[in-house]
Amino acid sequence: MPVFLSHRTATDESIGADLLVVPIAESAHGVPARLARLGKGVADAVARALDLGDFEREVGSVVTLRVCRIERYPRILLLRLGSGEEPESVGVRRAFAKASKDPLFRRIDSVAVWAEPSLGSGAALAENVAAAIDGLLEGTYRWTAATTKKESPAGRYLFLADGARSLARVDEGIAHGRALGDSVLLAREIANTPANRMGPAEMAERAKEIAAEAGLACRVLAGTRLARERMEAIRTVGAGSARDPRLIVLEYDPGVDLEPIVLVGKGLVYDTGGLSLKPTSSMVGMKFDKCGGSVVLAVLRAAATLDLPLPLVGIVPAVENSVSGTSYRPGDVIGSRSGQTIDVQNTDAEGRLVLADAIDYGIDKYSPRALIDIATLTGAAYYALGDRACAVLGTDDGVVERLREAGERSGERVWPLPLWAGYRKDVDSPVADVRNTGPWGAGTITGAAFLQRFTRDVPWAHLDIASVSYDRRETKNGATGFGVRLLVEALRRWPKRRGRGR
Ligand code: BES
Ligand code: MN
Ligand code: ZN
């Protein structure tokens, strides 16, 4: 685990690092202020590189200088920060993430970052330092649990600033960036773990470890407990697998007298499609079908680490959708915890089934002020928005709008789709209360329309992250953790008023 420290810029001549990162805003002209304090050679080398004009304006562009005679910093990296539509801190995160994917960051031990004034001052400095750390953790992360050759990326990061007040801002940024960035990596690490190494039981064990470390309450329902809770939808989806389902419940209680917000995450440890079997090419990424669940576990951890002032409950149905003689079938009619019967048209529309029971449980046990679910629910989300945003739908405009705004601020963007009455009728069934597929088209919407039937009168929003939860070009470290930054940002600013919804 790398360490992040603040350090006074010019006071200690003995301080140095294998690499000095000098962030430069897109609009900036010339050498960042006060850089000459590191020695005239540094400022001259940077000025020369900028004059030569080969430093691109695109976010994350770099120029590496190797300057002999500057022993404290043998390498200097000019790093272009983003700008344009997105908030400054999102550009900072993207720039640091992109630059730190370079193999250079695995060869060196220490990095210094010219934080002040290049990353701003005051509150912006804290926010941008946090974003830089979040980006550095993202860029240097590798899923190495299953490799025998271990790598060790740079282990020491120094953020350089000047006065005591700036150093305090940097320290604030370090604490926040670390808590957030580590939570994103936690979500990615769980999601990247293949199904043979993580079944429902292992996912529940992982949740217990997280709870113990972060000081959360944790309960796991299995076997007869699930039966006694009448979780027929969860049990039916899990019935085709030799590995029985679990319902993971995490509680974060900061000791304030408010109804909780309930977060529900889809935890399909693997989705073969069941008897409505997926073709091989669509099945290969299906260890990532637990991304929503891994995000919920990570958000609960982040909330506890950051001391967010509102109570939260995280619920994750951890289930395997597999094929055997005990699998459920297309054409079956099954029950659910809510009492509603479900006409199963397609066993590959399993996520909405397990979520239906988890949502019903969350509402029944916690009477939440709002419920948000996050799920890799439909491939159709990819056709709608590609991997630049996830879809949001819900019954409460306030909750939907909060998520959209948090998406803009966090850079994990969210875009609304409608849930009009016509769509809600599309999941009517002639033989049961509801069916688990709609007619052809609008798959992301009919998925949400199904879930809506289980939300009673609780303000609810659904995030379909199927298109953003993993990188299809990079299946090894592929999970993105999309949703952690988004939900933490939304929850940080959630009003502390009593009552439901906004
Ligand atoms: N887990 C899949 C959705 C998915 C697809 C996630 C691609 C990530 C990448 C989900 O369970 C599913 O199979 N959905 C079906 C629904 C259909 C049968 C109504 C789909 O999207 O095709
Ligand atoms: Mn499926
Ligand atoms: Zn699925």
- Residue extents of the structural domains in the chain: 3-162, 189-492
CA 415 distance to own-chain centroid = 16
Q: Can you name the residues that pair with 416 across neighbouring β-strands?
A: 392
What does pTM read for this prediction? Answer: 0.97
Atom nearest to 469 CA in ligand 1: 8
Q: How far apart are CA 17 and CA 404, in angstroms?
A: 40
Nearest to 420 by CA among 446, 400, 440, 385: 446
How much distance in Å is there from the Cα of 290 to the middle of ligand 1?
12
CA distance 423 to 430: 16
pLDDT of 149-181, one tens digit each? 877 888 899 999 999 999 999 999 999 999 999
| Reported confidence tier of residue 127, pLDDT bands at 50, 70, 90 | very high
Under CATH, what is the fold of the domain 189-492?
Answer: Aminopeptidase (3.40.630)
- The yes-or-no answer on residue 453 being catalytic is no
What would the mean pLDDT of 474-488 be, rounded to a whole number?
A: 89
pLDDT tens digits, one per residue of 34-59 = 888 887 788 888 999 999 988 988 88
- How many CB atoms are closer than 10 A to CB 221? 21
Q: Are 338 and 454 in contact (CB under 8 A)?
A: yes
CA of 484 to the centre of ligand 3 (A): 20
**Residue 40 catalytic?**
no
From 151, 155, 395, 347, select the one nearest 238 (Cα to Cα). Answer: 347
For 489, the enclosing helix (H) or strand (E) is helix 484-492
CB contact at 8 A, 403 and 372: yes
Closest ligand 1 atom number to CA of residue 381: 21
Whose CA is closest to atom 16 on ligand 1?
A: 349
- Give the alpha-carbon dihedral of 194, 195, 197, 203, to 10 degrees: 110
- CA distances in angstroms from 369 to 357, 366, 388, listed in the order given: 18, 9, 29
From the alpha carbon of 443, which atom of ligand 1 is closest? 19
Q: Which single residue is written with the structure tokens 């999102």?
A: 90
User: Which residues face 261 on adjacent strands?
Assistant: 312, 370
Distance (Å, rounded) from C-alpha 285 to C-alpha 282?
A: 7
Strand extents, DSSP E, 237-364: 246-252, 261-265, 267-271, 312-321, 333-334, 342-343
Which ligand lies nearest to the CA atom of residue 273 in the structure?
2
CB under 5 Å of ion ligand 3: residues: 268, 271, 289, 351
| Residue type for position 117 | P
Q: Answer for the pair 361, 379: CB distance below 8 angstroms, yes or no.
A: no
- Angle in degrees, 0-180, between the axes of helices 291-305 and 484-492, rounded to the nearest 10: 40
Ligand nearest to the CA of 319: 3
Per-residue pLDDT at 114: 96
Rg of the chain in Å (alpha carbons): 24
Best of 276, 378, 480 to mutate for ligand 1, by most ligand atoms within 8 A of CB?
Answer: 378
Share of the chain above pLDDT 90, in %: 83
Candidate list 37, 72, 101, 278, residue with the active-site label:
278
Our measurement of the distance from residue 230's CA atom to the centroid of its chain's CA atoms, rounded to an integer in Å, reads 31
User: Could you give the 3-state DSSP secondary structure of residue 352?
Assistant: helix
The residues lining ligand 1, judged by C-beta closer than 6 Å to any ligand atom, are 271, 289, 346, 348-351, 376, 378-380, 437, 443, 466
CA of 410 to the centre of ligand 3 (A): 26
Mean pLDDT of 198-218: 98
Distance (angstroms) between ligand 1 centre and the Cα of 349 equals 6
The position carrying tokens 């805003």 is: 25
Between 122-140 and 164-192, two packed helices, what is the crossing angle to 10 degrees? 30
pLDDT value at 501 more than 60: no
Statement: residue 84 has pLDDT above 80: no
Query: Distance between CA atoms of 290 and 306, rounded to whole angstroms?
Result: 24
Q: Quote the pLDDT of residue 462.
A: 99
Q: Are strands 246-252 and 312-321 parallel, antiparallel or unpaired?
A: antiparallel
Q: Please compute the mean of the pLDDT values over residues 77-99 and round it to a whole number.
A: 92
φ, ψ at 215 (rounded to 5°)? 80, 40
Please compute, for residue 56, the number of CA atoms within 13 A of its CA located in the half-sphere on the CB side. Answer: 7
* Least confident span in 95-109, 361-375, 449-463: 95-109
User: How confident is the model over 288-317, as a mean pLDDT?
Assistant: 98
Question: Annotated catalytic residue: which of 235, 352, 413, 485?
Answer: 352
DSSP letter, residue 479: B
Which pLDDT score is estimated for 146?
85
**Would you say residue 326 has pLDDT above 80?**
yes
CA nearest 274: which of 327, 227, 224, 199?
A: 327
Among candidates 188, 362, 130, which has minimal Cα distance to 262?
A: 362
267 CA to centre of ligand 2 in angstroms: 12
Q: Name residues whose C-beta falls within 8 Å of residue 318's C-beta, 6 or more positions apart in sequence.
A: 199, 200, 203, 204, 245, 246, 247, 248, 267, 269, 290, 293
Find out whether 180 and 485 touch, Cβ atoms under 8 Å.
yes
Mean pLDDT of the chain: 94
**What is the whole-number distance in angstroms between the Cα of residue 329 and the centre of ligand 2?**
13
- Does residue 441 have a pLDDT over 70? yes
Q: What is the residue type of 304? A: A
Q: What phi, psi does 358 have (nearest 5°)?
A: -65, -40
The superfamily CATH assigns to domain 3-162 is: Leucine Aminopeptidase, subunit E, domain 1 (3.40.220.10)
